[in-house]
Structure 1
Amino acid sequence: MANPIVARSLDEIRFWSRIMKEHALFLSLGFTYEQQQLIDEANQFIAMFERIEEKLSRFSVNSDLREVQAFNNEVYQAAASIWYYKRKVLGLTLRCEIRTNNYPLLVDHISREAAYFADRLKELNEGKLVPKPEAIIEENVFFLRIMADHAKFIGHLLDPSERKLVEQAREFSHDFDQLVFQAVDLDSMRPQSETKPILNQFLNQNRVSVASLRDFKKTARELIEECRIKSNIHPLLADHTFREAERFLEIIDLFEASLAGTNN
């Protein structure tokens, strides 16, 4: 029987390594021609995560746990390295030492995702398959904020003449900001909030909102790929944000299954 830690580790690496590789690409596309050193560093990270993806293909859910744990450690170092690079770029940007086409919030956003990826690998090597009930709210705060950021980026990268889509993106941004605040409030109410009915209601509400945003992203992705709307959004970025919404929905399913298991 496959070890659940092995299966989950490979799943996390498969998803997030591709995300990290794409982050490096998006950063490189946003730099100006005189920032060649930063572009070169981004390209090195693209190559690094391509090597990780190639090595990943050699593993299966039946692989030895110790070998997968060693691989987790290797990928952890890569995730930590790209986190440091992203924070360096953010610092240079905030100090106005460089001017790029990458919003500071976007650079902060992708650095948070790198930190999350590294933390997940560390937790898995510690035998933690899913968060405890008290940590579910905190992880939802992370993903809700990611979704709110996506809506903001979409709104700012659409051409101003796309008024209807820009307004929809703003509405999603507002809605997810409110969900973040609501989740923070709920988190501060612990231990009273550590009950299955409240957490299930919380997850169900998030599921509805994320599914709606996911569908909006899917439509936007299709319109961008078909060149039917005006924007500065790379087709891969549109697909990238769609996949992250799909990921959040999968994680909500895992949380609900975990909560159900605590009462069995």
Structure 2
Amino acid sequence: MTNGFVVRSLDEIRFWSRIMKEHSLFLKLGFRCEDTQLINEANYFFSLFERIENQAHDFSTEADPEQISNFNMKVHRAASLIWAFKRKVLGLILQCQLPGGNNFPLLVDHVSREAAYFRNRLEELNQGRLEPLPDAIIDENVFFLRIMADHAKFIGHLLDPSERKLVEQAREFSHDFDQLLFQAKDLESMRPQSQTVPLLDQFLDQNRVSVKSLRDFKKTARELIEACRIKSIIHPLLADHVFREAERFLQIIDLFERSLTKSSPK
């Protein structure tokens, strides 16, 4: 194990533990007041991932790789637990056992997919089996394009219907990212033949343009919500949450582009 393993592990945990913590809050806010058991479980996961987030920031990038490997295993267990909680909540909603709650089924599925992604990334890091670059480019984009499409749908549904222009913009982003996701799935089904440098480079360029536009839209929405200048039921933290995930996707695209450039023949 190398310093790169430590840096990558801490980066993943610092980012995703905060995301998991905030998911706990958002789910809690969507439960009914009588759902005390679910509220208590959400509070437990909020505290658990807050501790994990703080611990991750206490580690130095010069930390012992074996120590980080053990930490990854601990966080992996926590990610598995919150994934199971989210799937349980989804089941209750789909079986109409939480009538009147405010958690969309797609939102609960969305946050469970992110928990599964986090858990799987920790497994890959500890086992030293990160995907080859061409596979990683396609798989990461398939995952994040769906996340971005979901975000646009959530924003459109949580804005007040009278915010017609913003609602329409959110719908347009939803359509755009659905199309990008379909294209990514086509590229996925055509591999390995589709994994040429020109095709992957164009794939990343096209996605970056749309993610930047969505990121900027989210940034504007966040600022308007924080200033109480638009009508919505979007929590200010949720607005910042989805903005940070778009920023994360852009960072990943940039990293892939640099790696692709290095790997291509001169």
Regarding TM over 0.5, the answer is: yes
For 2:17, give the aligned amino acid. Answer: S
TM-score between both structures, scaled by the size of structure 1 = 0.97
The match for 1:153 is 154
The match for 1:201 is 202
For 1:263, give the aligned amino acid. Answer: S
- Structure 1 residue 189: Cα displacement: 1.2
- Structure 1 residue 161: Cα displacement: 0.3
TM-score between both structures, scaled by the size of structure 2 = 0.96
Structure 1 residues 160-210: Cα deviation after superposition (integer angstroms, max 9, x where no partner): 000000000000000000000011111111121111110010001000000
Structure 1 residues 198-237: Cα deviation after superposition (integer angstroms, max 9, x where no partner): 0010001000000000000000000000000000000000
The match for 1:109 is 110
- Structure 1 residue 92: Cα displacement: 0.4
Check if 1:183 corresponds to 2:175: no
Change (3 A) 1:212 1:131: farther
Distance, in Å, in 1 between the alignment partners of 2:77 and 2:255 is: 26
Residue 234 of structure 2 aligns to a residue whose secondary structure is coil
The match for 1:90 is 90
Extract unaligned runs of 5+ from structure 2. none
The match for 2:63 is 63
Distance, in Å, in 1 between the alignment partners of 2:208 and 2:199 is: 14
Identity rate, percent: 72
Q: RMSD of the TM alignment (CA)? A: 1.2
Structure 1 residues 28-79: Cα deviation after superposition (integer angstroms, max 9, x where no partner): 0000111010000000000101111221122111101110010001001111
Distance, in Å, in 2 between the alignment partners of 1:252 and 1:128 is: 20
For 2:95, give the aligned amino acid. Answer: R
Distance, in Å, in 2 between the alignment partners of 1:45 and 1:134 is: 32
For 2:92, give the aligned amino acid. Answer: L
- Structure 1 residue 141: Cα displacement: 0.7
The match for 1:162 is 163
For 1:5, give the aligned amino acid. Answer: F
For 2:257, give the aligned amino acid. Answer: E
Distance, in Å, in 2 between the alignment partners of 1:224 and 1:158 is: 10
Extract unaligned runs of 5+ from structure 1. none
- Structure 1 residue 131: Cα displacement: 4.7
- Structure 1 residue 263: Cα displacement: 3.4
Residue 140 of structure 1 aligns to a residue whose secondary structure is helix
Distance, in Å, in 2 between the alignment partners of 1:51 and 1:186 is: 40
The answer to whether the Cα contact below 8 Å between 1:8 and 1:129 also exists between their aligned partners in 2 is no
- Structure 1 residue 128: Cα displacement: 3.9
Distance, in Å, in 1 between the alignment partners of 2:132 and 2:59 is: 25
The match for 2:234 is 233
Distance, in Å, in 1 between the alignment partners of 2:160 and 2:42 is: 27
The answer to whether the Cα contact below 8 Å between 1:203 and 1:256 also exists between their aligned partners in 2 is yes
Distance, in Å, in 1 between the alignment partners of 2:132 and 2:159 is: 36
Change (3 A) 1:131 1:216: farther
For 1:160, give the aligned amino acid. Answer: P
Residue 57 of structure 1 aligns to a residue whose secondary structure is helix
- Structure 1 residue 258: Cα displacement: 2.4
The match for 2:219 is 218
For 1:148, give the aligned amino acid. Answer: A
Change (3 A) 1:135 1:53: closer
For 2:183, give the aligned amino acid. Answer: Q
For 1:69, give the aligned amino acid. Answer: S
Distance, in Å, in 1 between the alignment partners of 2:264 and 2:170 is: 39
The answer to whether the Cα contact below 8 Å between 2:79 and 2:116 also exists between their aligned partners in 1 is yes
For 1:95, give the aligned amino acid. Answer: Q
Structure 1 residues 123-149: Cα deviation after superposition (integer angstroms, max 9, x where no partner): 111224565312321220110000000
Distance, in Å, in 2 between the alignment partners of 1:135 and 1:211 is: 21
Distance, in Å, in 2 between the alignment partners of 1:260 and 1:128 is: 22
The match for 1:37 is 37
Residue 58 of structure 2 aligns to a residue whose secondary structure is coil
Check if 1:20 corresponds to 2:20: yes
For 2:85, give the aligned amino acid. Answer: Y
The match for 2:5 is 5
The answer to whether the Cα contact below 8 Å between 2:86 and 2:112 also exists between their aligned partners in 1 is yes
